[in-house]
Amino acid sequence: MHSRRNFLQQIAATAMVLPFMSLPGWAVTRRPKEGKVLRVALMGLGSYANRVADAMKSCTKAKLVGVISGTPSKITDWQQRFDIPAANCYNYSNFDRIRDNPDIDVVYITTPNALHHGQTLRVAAAGKHVICEKPMALNAHEGADMIAACKKANVQLLVGYRMHFEPKTLEIIRMRNSGEFGKILFFQGQCGFRIGDPTQWRLNKELAGGGSLMDIGIYAINGARYMTGEEPLWVTAQETKTDPIKFNAGVDETIQFQLGFPSGAVASCLSTYNMNNLDRFFLNGEKGFAELQPSTGYGPIKGRTFKGELTQPHMTHQTVQMDEMADILLAGKQPLVAVNGEEALKDLKIIDAIYQAVKTGKKVNLA
């Protein structure tokens, strides 16, 4: 594990020094030709990449065509499992060569959080679109840098917000937009689980950038925004740590945080690595309510409103996400809830503010 951490940290360090290329414009706002699919390379072949790859077997608009990994045995295995040609296989040292590969449109980055920034800069410099897992970066400064790099390279930056395409979630947003809940008063987001292996990268400050807030709490942050339809003005937060050995300095175990919105609505949220059975969103308005439980897991999502049970069919989140992202990148489709870098930057600014509120014990203004 120690050698793997060193290896990943070396990747992050070397990723920062590569220059940008001058690239021609991309026709990303035109309708794709009949039958055109988004050709995807996955970077970082861990458990979530496997989930995405399996889900993409059912996609009609996106196809897995390439891989990037620091482990040769994984590349060999993926070649066999997903029929990936050798010409589309890269490691962390040579993946800049994708600039010369016309058979890859986008790279989906699923590596540890600390690597997202440098790897995004390199992919953008190679002239490929980027899909980055959340959190997009370790902080808002890195996130803004990633957005600027992709704009400079004239490529698009999307973030893996799969819940933005989930049918029951979208139905609640539709109901809110149509005024069925009336004035929104309150949101509650509870996100957490008891984390296992104490040596995993999620509990390594240098690779994760934090603890539960970076991994699971971001769902409550993002959910508070898309469920209320507002951007918060202020945040307060409190941290609880019962195991300072497992959750060492800079790795949060449990954080409770509160958000205030322009309309007067408030949010009360919890993020934890020390409690199971926490995956619930609740939205309350003057005329009615909505509840999702589970709210952000891989599914099926279950929910109800004051009008009854939500019955939209379950679809594999990553299948829907990748087909929708194909439409965004190839056809210029605008999703109901944004999934671009600017959307992710808003979450990062709130994360920064939450950590500041924990440190200072004071309300932090976001305006």
- Helix or strand holding residue 24 (H, E): none
Pair of tokens at residue 69 = 């990994």
| Separation CA 175–CA 342 (nearest Å) | 25
Pair of tokens at residue 315 = 């679809």
| Separation CA 190–CA 211 (nearest Å) | 15
Q: Please report, as a single letter, which amino acid is at residue 60.
A: T
Q: Which one of the listed residues 134, 168, 346, 349 is annotated catalytic?
A: 134
A 10 A CB-CB count for 244 gives 10
Tell me, rounded to whole angstroms, the distance of Cα 141 from its chain centroid.
Answer: 17
- Write down the residue that tokens 């409550």 correspond to: 220
Residues whose CB is less than 8 angstroms from the CB of residue 168 and which lie 6 or more positions away in sequence, other chains included: 292, 301, 302, 303, 310, 312
| Separation CA 26–CA 355 (nearest Å) | 38
Nearest to 37 by CA among 99, 94, 104: 104
Q: Which one of the listed residues 92, 108, 161, 219 is annotated catalytic?
A: 219
Kindly provide the residue ranges of all beta strands, DSSP E only, lying in the chain, ordered along the sequence. Answer: 38-43, 62-68, 89-90, 106-109, 129-132, 157-159, 184-192, 234-240, 254-260, 266-272, 278-285, 289-292, 303-305, 308-309, 364-365
Nearest to 219 by CA among 265, 257, 184: 257
Active site residue 33: no
Cβ 273 vs Cβ 241: under 8 Å = no
Active site residue 61: no
Nearest to 132 by CA among 301, 355, 352, 345: 345
| Separation CA 263–CA 184 (nearest Å) | 8
Cβ 109 vs Cβ 119: under 8 Å = yes
DSSP class of residue 361 equals -
The catalytic residues are 134, 219
